Structure 1
Amino acid sequence: MGYTKDDLKKLVDELTKQRDELKVKLHLAKAEGRDEWEKLETKWEEVKGKMKTMGEEAGEAADSVTAAAGLLADEIKKGYERIKNAF
């Protein structure tokens, strides 16, 4: 397709606008991803602690710790998926 000078200028203007909007969205996505990551890291440390406790506990206490660790692990998995989908 042949472009006139005006057509090309309009196209470049549109692309510039889209580019600027995408840069802002990417920047925000990175910030949101970092915030989500920090929250998940705290939960990750909790899971690791509960995993250690599971090895030390017995009986009902171990079942309770296992259930709590499972819930945290599910939250972390969902959070990782949210971060992945943001990019």
Structure 2
Amino acid sequence: MSDIKKMAEELKQNYDELKLKVHLGSKEAQDEWDELQERWKHFESQANLKKSKEDLGDAFEILGSELKDAFSRIRKAL
């Protein structure tokens, strides 16, 4: 399994879990979640293109890292 596919699967799992928790969570977490929604849609659309890691470049890795950090902040807020 490629590194990008593995990262995308892990992020998808975190996304799905947090989506449910945020629904019941704090206003602060809800605000960050709302902002994260657009960034997630962008990440998911890029991952679905099934391009190689080289084609996606550093921007894709940065976005994935930012999503992981945001998921962690939301998880801590809950």
- Which TM-score bucket, shorter chain as reference? 0.5 to 0.7
TM-score normalised by L of structure 1: 0.51
Cα deviation code 1:3-23 (max 9, x no counterpart): xxxxxxxxxxxxxxxxxxxxx
Q: CA deviation at 1:66?
A: 4.0
- Matched with 1:44 is 40
What count of residue pairs does the alignment treat as equivalent?
54
CA RMSD between the two structures: 2.2
Q: Which runs of 4+ in 1 moved over 6 A?
A: none
Unpaired runs of at least 5, structure 2: 1-24
Pick from 28, 33, 43 the counterpart of residue 32 of structure 1: 28
Q: Which structure's relative contact order is higher, taking Cα pairs within 8 Å and 6+ residues apart?
A: 2
Answer with 1 or 2: which has the greater Rg. Answer: 1
Unpaired runs of at least 5, structure 1: 1-28
- Matched with 2:58 is 67
- Matched with 1:80 is 71
Cα deviation code 1:2-44 (max 9, x no counterpart): xxxxxxxxxxxxxxxxxxxxxxxxxxx7111011111111111
TM-score normalised by L of structure 2: 0.55
Higher helix share: 1
